[in-house]
Every structure is written in structure tokens, then in C-alpha cells.
Amino acid sequence: MSVTQSDFRKAMGCFATGVTVITVDRAGEVHGMTANAFTSVSMDPLLVLVCVDHRARTHAHLHARKRFGVNVLAENQRAISEYYARSPEIHQHPEEAGASFDRTAHGTPVLHGALAYLECRLHTTQEAGDHTIFIAEVEDVVVREGEPLLFFRGDYRSVGAPIGSLSGSENQEAPNLGKTGNGRNT
Ligand SMILES: Cc1cc2nc3c(=O)[nH]c(=O)nc-3n(C[C@H](O)[C@H](O)[C@H](O)COP(=O)(O)O)c2cc1C
């Protein structure tokens, strides 16, 4: 049986992910790209990867700058995801989508209000079909409280209620144990 691109998209759409915006400095401007083909790779050294389409402008920018940020979007940042999934030459009005940025000491743009930020330095690249896998070392991280924006079957979602274990009533209560602070480690 031959798998079509549509079949492949549908199957991959079942794999719910978070949503990130990859940020890279481009001659003093912030260039951003929405990406969910992002994952951790290694603990020692700390490595992550992101897969970038050869046609994306970000592809050339990552090769040129060799440093980028990965901003994990919070559930109220859908407009920012949509904004950076479009491809104007330069993103002129990020504030209209609610996006504003700080800079790290390396000049990498950091998105305000993101759930987490990872500052990355390019380690290696691997060509893979019509995408390039950018593997990068994590130099710094920032983590904030909050809930993530999710992407599932082509739609944005928010996280639902925690699912308890089915193996017993005691374990079914487990998701709330941390909140009551009774010291049990589940
Ligand atoms: C939820 C979501 C996830 C995406 N993930 C990726 C991805 O992992 N890699 C990629 O190359 N494009 C991804 N895209 C598409 C890019 O965001 C889009 O092509 C963008 O316009 C590229 O911008 P650029 O040309 O300025 O780099 C995604 C789009 C959406 C909406």
C-alpha cells in the first residue's frame, strides 16, 4: 500500500505536540518561525533538534546565524503561532499578534510570556528529504508557570484534565496529590 502525503499528514496530526516559535537575529531584526517538529535529543551534552523546511526563510537564517531561541508557546499565544506561520519578508507588526522580545547576551530574541525559552547554539545539521534537521546545544533555559498551547489534528488546543491511573482508586487520585501536598511521590 502506498502512503500519500495526505495520509502521512493525517497520521502525524494525531501526534499532539506543543508549539514553538524559533527566533533568530537577522541583522538586528527578529525573525520568527512557528515550529512543532522540535524535540530533545541528548542529556549529555544537552541537545535539541528542530526540522526546518528548505523553503522556509528561517532555514538560511539558522545556517547564517548559528544561534537561535526556541520559545515554547503558552495557551494564550495562538495569535503569535499564526503570525509566525505566515511568511512575509520581514515580520513588520509582531505587536499586533501580542509578540514582543528581549535579547539575550548573545543577541538572540526571547519572546515575552512564553512558557519556556531555550537558547541554542548550532551543533550539526543533517539533510533529511525536503527538510534539514538542525541539532543544537542548549546554552540557557528559562521556565515559567502556565499552561501550553497544543496542536492536534490541525487545530490549536489547550491541555485537558490530568488522567489518573486505571490500576486502582488510590492512584486515580494521584494527579491531585501534588496540590494537597501530602508528600506522596507518584
Ligand atoms: C503548528 C505549526 C507547526 C509548524 N511546524 C513547522 C516545523 O516544525 N518546521 C517547518 O519547517 N515549518 C513548520 N511550520 C510552517 C512554518 O511556520 C511556515 O512555513 C512559516 O511561514 C515559515 O516561515 P519563514 O519562511 O519565515 O521561515 C509549522 C506551522 C504551524 C502552523
- The reply to whether ligand 1 has any atom less than 6 angstroms from the CB of 62 is no
Residue 13 confidence (pLDDT):
98
Span from the CA of 14 to the centroid of ligand 1 (angstroms): 18
What three-state secondary structure class fits 36? Answer: coil
Query: Is 100 a domain residue?
Result: yes
Residue 119 confidence (pLDDT):
98
Query: Is 179 a domain residue?
Result: no
CATH code, domain with 19: 2.30.110.10
Number of domains observed in the structure of the chain:
1
For residue 174, report the phi and psi dihedrals to the nearest 5 degrees: -50, -40
CA–CA gap between residue 153 and residue 170 (Å, rounded) = 33
Span from the CA of 21 to the centroid of ligand 1 (angstroms): 9
- The reply to whether ligand 1 has any atom less than 6 angstroms from the CB of 60 is no
Residue 185 confidence (pLDDT):
33
Query: Is 170 a domain residue?
Result: no
- The reply to whether ligand 1 has any atom less than 6 angstroms from the CB of 21 is no
- Count Cβ neighbours within 10 Å for each residue of 158-167 and write b for 16 or more, e otherwise: eeeeeebeee
Query: Is 67 a domain residue?
Result: yes
Query: Is 186 a domain residue?
Result: no
CA–CA gap between residue 17 and residue 3 (Å, rounded) = 22
Span from the CA of 169 to the centroid of ligand 1 (angstroms): 43
Whether the CB-CB separation of 65 and 59 falls below 8 Å is answered with: no
Query: Is 85 a domain residue?
Result: yes
What three-state secondary structure class fits 10? Answer: helix
Q: Would the pTM count as exceeding 0.85?
A: yes
CA–CA gap between residue 174 and residue 184 (Å, rounded) = 9
Query: Is 38 a domain residue?
Result: yes
- The reply to whether ligand 1 has any atom less than 6 angstroms from the CB of 85 is yes
Span from the CA of 35 to the centroid of ligand 1 (angstroms): 5
Over the stretch 12-22, which tens digit does the pLDDT of each residue have?
999 999 999 99
Over the stretch 37-80, which tens digit does the pLDDT of each residue have?
999 999 999 999 999 999 999 999 999 999 999 999 999 999 99
Query: Is 128 a domain residue?
Result: yes
Residue 178 confidence (pLDDT):
39
Residue 179 confidence (pLDDT):
38
CA–CA gap between residue 101 and residue 91 (Å, rounded) = 13
> Domain limits at 66?
8-161
Q: Which parts of the chain have pLDDT scores under 70? A: 89-90, 168-186
